[in-house]
Amino acid sequence: MSHPLEGITVVALEQAVAAPLATRHLADLGARVIKIERPGAGDFARDYDRTVHGQSSYFVWLNRGKESVELDIKADRALLQAIIARADVFVQNLAPGAVERLGLDAATLRAARPELIHCSVSGYGPHGPYRDKKAYDLLVQCETGLLATTGTPEAPSKAGISIADIATGMYAYSGILTALYDRERTGRGASLHVAMIDALGEWMSQPAYFTRYGSQPLQRTGARHASIAPYGPYRTGDGSVFLGVQNNREWAALCKEVLSLPELVDDLRFRTNPDRVRHDDELTPLLEEVFADRPADEVIDLLDAAGIANARLRGPGDLNDHPQLRARGRWRDVDTPAGSVQALLPPVESGREPVMGTVPALGEHNDAIRAEFGRLSA
C-alpha cells in the first residue's frame, strides 16, 4: 500500500519533544526522516528516563520510523550539506541563533534551493526581548498563563503532559503539510517558524478572552470546569463519576431522568449555565446527595440512558487496556533496539495503514547514510 508522503525526504536537526513529534507524524505518513544526532550522545531525550526496556519513554514515543545518523555538524559539514541538498523538508529546533551561525537558516538554505521547506521551532520566536531565552515546557506553561488556570484554588499545577511541546509539534506538522501542498501547486518552498509561546498561546485563548472581557479572573477549580457546571467529579456510593452538562437540554435531562428532581430545571439558581457556575457550591451537594446511595456503575447507567456525557477516572497505565481502544484495534507492535512495544495508531483514520517503523538506535544508519551521501559530498 502506498503512503501519502512516499518520496518526501525530511532532514531533522532536532531534539526533545516538539520537533521530533512533528517529524514522527511525517514518518508515519511515509516520509523518509533522517535524524541528525550528536556523536556519542544523540538527542538528549534519549536520556530522559529508562522505563521502556531500558530506553526513554519520550524517545520511543517520538522517534519511530526514523533513520539515525551521528554527525558533527562542523566536521561533517560537507556530508550534512549533501544530505540537505536532497531534502524536501528541513526541520530544526536548535538553540536561538545556532542555525544562523552554522549557515543552516532558512534564508541561506533557500537561497540555493527555493523549493526547500524550512521549519524552525523555538520557544519564543525569532524576534523580541525573549528571543534568546531558554524555553522548556513548564516555563512556557507559566508564561502563557496555563499554570495560573490549572490546579486548585490553593495551588497552581502544571499540566501532566508536555502540552506546550505537543501543541508546538502539531502546528509544525500541520504547517509542513500545508507547505508541501502549496509547493505542489506553485513549486515554491516555504520558511516556517513555530514558537511554543504562540502555539500554547493559541490554546489559551478562551481563558484569556474570559479573563480579559469578563467581570472576574478565571478561577482554578481542580478537576471541575471553571466556566461550565455541572462538569467534573461527583461522589457516588463507591467512588466518583465524572460528568458534563453542556446545554440546557442536557440540564433538563439530568434533573428529570437522573436526579428525579424536575423542579431544579427552572430553579433560578440553576436556570442557565452562568447561574449554575455561580451557584456550583449549592449544586454539587444536590447531585452528590442523590448519588450517595448508588454505586458508580448504576449512576453511569442512568447518565448514559439520559444522554449525559460521563467518564471514569483512569490512570495512564490503564490506556493500553481501554476497552474502546482494544475493540477498535488501535494498537500496533513497534520494534525498538531493546524489544517490541505497543504503540497507538495515529489519530487520523484514512483507510491506509500508517508506516509506524522501528525506533532507531543511536547511529544505527551511520554507514548506510555515509555510503549513500558521502560520494555527493566529495
Sequential DSSP letters for 114-180 = TT-EEEEEESS-SSSTTTTS---HHHHHHHTTHHHHSB-SS-B---SS-HHHHHHHHHHHHHHHHHH
Give mean pLDDT, residues 345-370. Answer: 94
pLDDT band at 1 (very low <50, low <70, confident <90, very high): low
pTM of the predicted model, to two decimals? 0.91
Question: Does residue 283 surpass a pLDDT of 60?
Answer: yes
Q: What is the 3-state secondary structure (H, E, C) of 25-78?
A: HHHHCCCEEEEEECCCCCCHHHHCCCCECCECHHHHHHCCCEEEEECCCCCCHH
The dihedrals phi and psi of 361, each to the nearest 5 degrees, come to: -75, 155
Chain centroid to Cα 146, Å, comes to: 15
Question: Does residue 377 surpass a pLDDT of 80?
Answer: no
78-100 pLDDT, tens digit each: 999 999 999 999 999 998 889 99
Question: Does residue 244 surpass a pLDDT of 70?
Answer: yes
Grid coordinates in use for 199? 502555539
Question: Does residue 170 surpass a pLDDT of 80?
Answer: yes
Predicted confidence at residue 378, as pLDDT, reads 55
pLDDT > 90 in the chain, percent: 89
Question: Does residue 138 surpass a pLDDT of 80?
Answer: yes
Question: Does residue 280 surpass a pLDDT of 60?
Answer: yes
**Whole-number Å distance between alpha carbons of 93 and 65:** 19
Domains along the sequence of the chain with CATH = 9-204+327-377 (3.40.50.10540), 231-314 (3.30.1540.10)
pLDDT band at 344 (very low <50, low <70, confident <90, very high): very high
Give mean pLDDT, residues 237-245. Answer: 94
Grid coordinates in use for 183? 509547493
Give mean pLDDT, residues 59-66. Answer: 97
What's the Cα-to-Cα distance from 38 to each of 15, 76, 300, rounded to whole Å? 10, 11, 52
Predicted confidence at residue 49, as pLDDT, reads 95
Give mean pLDDT, residues 32-47. Answer: 96
Give mean pLDDT, residues 254-267. Answer: 96
The residues that are catalytic are: 225
Chain centroid to Cα 342, Å, comes to: 19
